[in-house]
Structure 1
């Protein structure tokens, strides 16, 4: 992901995180998002240290405003840090991807969903999120005389 775009996403999520601190929701999805934004904030705060623009963004957001100049200063600080540290950039990208997916992840041959999933079957059909192997909707074939 391009550094400018990545930094823009990070700033956007930081603004959401700072705003949500004052109005934490109790729903599980919100808790997962909050946890992801908390982790993003930890990583950014650890890397940027005492960056005045980050502190100012948190202060402004807490007051219900964010100046475009402050957002730009944080974005530029993130771009510079990520440009000089590919591991930091990769971690930011992973965290942003995780937040954008709603925290849903699946391994090989898995199924992940960031929201409700409804799977139905009718009239002898088969319904599943993931199937590994053969599926039959009828009785298994009986061995005939040549199969014995």
Structure 2
């Protein structure tokens, strides 16, 4: 089928509207393929339950684990340090730092990696917030 047309009404591979929506979900850290397909159906009336994975792969949209594995150590550390530099009082937690990195660079790192780097570079701020302590 060289024309790519079949009996089902599928979304075209290079549909710019769908690409923009998937990029928006990536920025809002929505990673579950099932959840994305449900959001597409409810919010935009686009039915693509099985092709979300292929579309995200074609657009090079990856979850935090894949991005953390693929980036070099220097780049990952610099992303975290740049975001920590914007918080001189050390009041941001790992999730807030993660969201800041996504907002500034578009890269999504794992919370565990960010937490480890925060404990190395901003230990006093991390301890003063006591994120794991019962309150």
**TM-score under structure 2 length normalisation:** 0.24
Comparing both chains, which one has the higher relative contact order based on Cα–Cα distances under 8 Å and sequence gaps of 6 or more?
A: 1
Q: Which has the larger radius of gyration?
A: 1
> How does the TM-score come out when normalised to structure 1?
0.22
